[in-house]
Structure 1
Amino acid sequence: PGGLGLLAGVAIAEALATLLPDGIGLHLKWPNDLVVAGRKLGGVLVEAGTRADGTKWAVAGIGVNLVTHPDDADRPATSFAALGLRPPAPDTLAEAILERLIAWSGRARVDGFGAIVAAWQRRAQPHGTAITVRLPAGPVSGRYAGLDTDGALLVSLEDGRTRRIIAGDVFAGG
């Protein structure tokens, strides 16, 4: 499921890049957010499970704020309209995203998951960005240090250690 989230994030970022002006500063925030100027423009929610016959399934829900956006101080958001941009037609955006999802699914089958992780990291916030990850046992603050080969978040801690995180809510700032 985490792999599908990263793959979808890359596909959506590529689709949006064709619709946004150069220099807008779109990047991916682990594990599943698309961010412009520190504000969430969209995201991916992956659900997965196993059927009674043992067959695994996964589905990705994709959302992009075109005309409006939620007003939440904890998770600042934006939209095409709030950025002063003309929003694309939903079907135009959906077509662009589906095209990139198909392309990345094929690439993953040929080149493996490492290609997705590498592409995701090229679109991520800069290494060294201060982040806080909310975990059930309490927050972890440090600096973004990339992704592990399986897509887990790597956080560089003040004491020089690197913490590997497989699930948590990431916020800008330390």
Structure 2
Amino acid sequence: MAFRLAPTSASEGFRLEAHDSVGSTNALALDHARAGDPGKLWVVSKKQESGRGRRGRAWATPEGNLAATLLLITGGELRLAATLGFVAGLALADALDAVVPKGRIAIGLDGASQGQNRFELKWPNDVLASGAKLAGILLESAMLDGGRFAVAVGIGVNVVAHPRDLPYPATSLHALGAACDAETLFLALSDAWSENARLWDEGRGLAAIRKRWLTRAAGLGGEVAVRIDGNVVRGVFETIDDDCRFVIRDDDGSVLTVAAGDVHFGAVASARI
């Protein structure tokens, strides 16, 4: 089966560029933007040679996994564009719900899960299944002429394989017993993106996105540790605020709002990290 867009996505003017292998779908998408591409372009591949995650970390995409980047061109606020990562998380979780048979995925995040979703969203950019990382999301941007900028919404999913030498648990759809392939998942993702992007509405619907995201939030109400610039803050994950920043309450009852950091839940949060 070849990669293809959902009919809803194609009807809204989205385009598709599929590759057998790429260096990085994000890098390729931003190169297209600098060359004048108008955006609404999905760049997808089942193999990525030099993918990357947050803070320059490597993201492996062996043959059969999904690397997908949506290129968008906007003249709006970069602050609002940054919340597209939450749109992407919701779209991917919806797509996974659509293509993975019910009963295939167990629920649980080291005692911190509410147990209501097979696929949970870990702030700010991960999708979890059975408490392990299944997918990651990376937003990158580039300034263009005329006050516009390009946003590459990168989505990497462990479909057939997952790394095993990580400091946190990871998994793949196949390891969880799901037979879905990258092409089927992307078809559902392109459809789910359109629905969630309409809800986001260029940032005007961010409150609705935040509300939806919280219903899928991993670890909400549980013990959490956040590493911020080398320091570790511990407390309880209370919510995300109106700008989708992470909000924790420490043991003294003080509230801390975090814009960027590495989050750990449950027993990991209690251990030395």
* Residue in structure 1 matched with residue 241 of structure 2 by the alignment: 148
Residue 156 of structure 2 corresponds to residue 74 of structure 1: no
Q: Who is 2:90 aligned against?
A: 10
AA in 1 matched with 2:125: N
More strand by share: 1
What are the superposed Cα offsets for residues 7-57 of structure 1, whole Å, 9 maximum, x if unpaired?
A: 000000011012232463321000110111221011211112322432122
Output the amino acid matched with 1:96.
A
Shift of residue 104, structure 1, vs aligned partner: 1.1
2:160 partner amino acid: V
TM-score (norm 1): 0.91
CA distance in 1, matches of 2:144, 2:201: 23
| Alpha-carbon offset, residue 124 of structure 1 | 0.6
Whole-Å separation in 1 of the counterparts to 2:137 and 2:221? 24
RMSD: 1.7
Larger radius of gyration: 2
Is this contact kept in 2: 1:49–1:57, CA < 8 A?
yes
Could you tell me which residue of structure 2 aligns to residue 109 of structure 1?
201
> Structure 1 unaligned runs (5+)?
none
Select which of 211, 219, 225 maps to 1:132.
225
- Measure, in 1, the Cα distance between the counterparts of 2:142 and 2:245: 20
Q: Secondary structure at the match of 1:101?
A: helix
Q: Deviations over 1:57-109 (max 9, x none)?
A: 211111111111011341210011111222x1211111111111111111221
**Structure 2 segments unaligned to the other structure (5+ residues):** 1-80, 108-118
- Say which SS state the counterpart of residue 53 (structure 1) adopts: helix
2:138 aligned with 1:56, yes or no? Answer: no
Is the contact between residue 2 and residue 151 of structure 1 (CA under 8 Å) also seen in structure 2?
A: no
3-state SS of paired residue (2:85): helix
Listed one character per residue, the Cα deviations across residues 122-151 of structure 1 (whole Å, up to 9, x for unaligned) are 111242222211111511111111110110
**Aligned mates of 2:144, 2:261 — CA distance in 1:** 26
Secondary structure, in 3 states, of the residue corresponding to 1:118?
A: helix
**Alpha-carbon displacement from aligned partner over 1:141-173 (angstroms, at most 9, x marks no partner):** 111111101100111211111110011111223
Q: Distance in 2 between matches of 1:96 and 1:150?
A: 27
Which residue does the alignment assign to 1:164? Answer: 257
Output the amino acid matched with 2:264.
F
Paired residues of 2:99 and 2:188 also in contact (CA < 8 A): no
1:31 aligns with 2:124: yes
Q: Distance in 1 between matches of 2:82 and 2:253?
A: 27
CA distance in 1 between partners of 2:178 and 2:233 (Å): 36
Residue aligning to 2:16: none
How many correspondences in the alignment? 173
Instruction: Report percent identity of matched pairs.
Output: 35
CA distance in 1, matches of 2:89, 2:242: 16
